[in-house]
């Protein structure tokens, strides 16, 4: 194998991917990165206008506007992507909601709403995507989970419970779908400086946390892109059921 052959295994040329929650933050950077690697990328978001604007700004991208908790709409969108592009090679389950309140402030109804978005919707999307992938005998499902750190840093038990469930779902799907040619993995991001996380990073306790990160800084959103491209590419053809932690070493330092 030549060096060029090795690099080509990381290419996403000819592949079709859908990234949920891709109109901002980590999802937006993942969509941009996958498109730059050669994929045709569906930009998902609830706001059709914003999804359309983002898609126009990314070469080889198209808008895929729907609310992931609207299960019939999600199924219809997946069918439409395959009808239009002839295939769906990768689904990146990135869209999620967060509730950083403490346990006594989160009611059972609040918890159910969060689980519906972060776990149930992603289950149904994966089920729909897998249906199309099975027909071709290959595909990639990638979940964006969460690095598990002490509760004092997070203060969001419902969110962490949903992400823990997501990792368990990933492992179960890896076992069930492996013989059908579908690899299922997850990425566990550490602390990334997204616009939505700005109030969180303003907390003194979080500023102190940066000193405990081996690389001594928080992550830039574009620094998660390589992991997503890798797991979607042929370079990861023998990897499934794995959680790839991207946290600058924080999880091993705590």
- Residues 6 or more apart from 72 whose CB is under 8 A from it? none
Question: Biggest alpha carbon distance in the chain?
Answer: 58
Mean pLDDT of 100-108: 90
Q: Where are the alpha helices (DSSP H) in the chain?
A: 3-8, 25-36, 48-57, 71-85, 108-115, 121-136, 151-154, 157-177, 198-201, 204-209, 225-232, 250-253
CB distance 145 to 188 below 8 Å: yes
CB distance 224 to 26 below 8 Å: yes
Task: Kindly report the pTM of this predicted structure.
Answer: 0.94
Instruction: Tell me the C-alpha distance between 41 and 54, whole Å.
Output: 11
For the chain, list the domains and their CATH numbers. 3-253 (3.40.50.720)
pLDDT computed for residue 154 by the predictor: 55
Mean pLDDT of 36-47: 98
Buried b (16+ CB within 10 A) or exposed e, 81-91: bbeeeebbbbb
The strand pairing partners of 43, in sequence order, are 19, 63
**Sorting pLDDT into bands at 50, 70 and 90, what band is 151?**
very low
Q: For residue 170, which of 157, 188, 154 has the smallest C-alpha distance?
A: 188
pLDDT computed for residue 152 by the predictor: 45
Residue 153 has pLDDT above 80, yes or no: no
Mean pLDDT of 13-31: 98
Q: Average pLDDT, whole number, for the chain?
A: 93
Residue 3 has pLDDT above 70, yes or no: no
pLDDT computed for residue 1 by the predictor: 56
- Residues 6 or more apart from 227 whose CB is under 8 A from it? 187, 244, 246
Of 143-152, 165-174, 178-187, 233-242, least confident by mean pLDDT is 143-152
Backbone angles phi, psi at 91, to 5 degrees: -115, 120
Instruction: Give the DSSP letter of residue 155.
Output: -
Instruction: Tell me the C-alpha distance between 15 and 72, whole Å.
Output: 25
pLDDT computed for residue 27 by the predictor: 98
**In what helix (H) or strand (E) does residue 189 lie, and over which residues does it extend?**
strand 182-189
pLDDT computed for residue 6 by the predictor: 79
pLDDT tens readout for residues 190-210: 999 998 888 878 888 777 888
pLDDT computed for residue 196 by the predictor: 83
Known catalytic membership, residue 159: yes
pLDDT tens readout for residues 165-183: 999 999 999 999 999 999 9
**Euclidean distance between the first and the last CA atom of the chain, given in angstroms as a whole number:** 40
CB distance 47 to 26 below 8 Å: no
> Is residue 102 packed enough to be buried (19+ CB in 10 Å), middle (13-18) or exposed (0-12)?
exposed
Candidate list 62, 143, 159, 191, residue with the active-site label: 159
């Amino acid at each position: 194998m030549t060096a060029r052959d090795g690099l080509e295994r990381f290419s996403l040329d000819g592949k079709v991917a859908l990234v949920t929650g891709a109109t901002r933050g980590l999802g937006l950077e993942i969509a941009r990165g996958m498109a730059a690697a050669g994929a045709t990328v569906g930009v998902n978001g609830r706001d059709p206008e914003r999804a359309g604007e983002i898609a126009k700004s990314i070469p080889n991208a198209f808008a895929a506007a729907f609310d992931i908790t609207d299960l019939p709409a999600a199924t219809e969108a997946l069918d439409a992507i395959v009808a239009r592009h002839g295939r769906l090679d990768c689904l990146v389950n990135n869209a999620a909601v967060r509730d950083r309140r403490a346990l006594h402030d989160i009611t059972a109804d609040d918890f159910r709403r969060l689980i519906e978005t972060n776990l149930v919707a992603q289950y149904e999307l994966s089920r729909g995507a897998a249906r199309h992938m099975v027909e071709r005998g290959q595909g990639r499902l990638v979940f964006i989970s969460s690095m598990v750190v002490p509760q004092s840093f997070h203060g969001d038990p419902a969110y962490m419970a949903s992400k823990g469930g997501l990792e368990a779902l990933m492992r179960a799907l890896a076992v069930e779908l492996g013989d059908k040619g579908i690899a299922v993995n997850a990425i566990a991001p550490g602390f990334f400086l997204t616009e939505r996380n700005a109030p969180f990073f303003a907390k003194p306790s979080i500023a102190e946390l940066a000193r405990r990160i081996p690389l001594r800084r928080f992550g830039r959103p574009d620094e998660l892109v390589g992991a997503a491209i890798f797991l979607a590419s042929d370079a990861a053809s023998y990897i499934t059921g794995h959680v790839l932690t991207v946290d600058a070493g924080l999880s091993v330092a705590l």
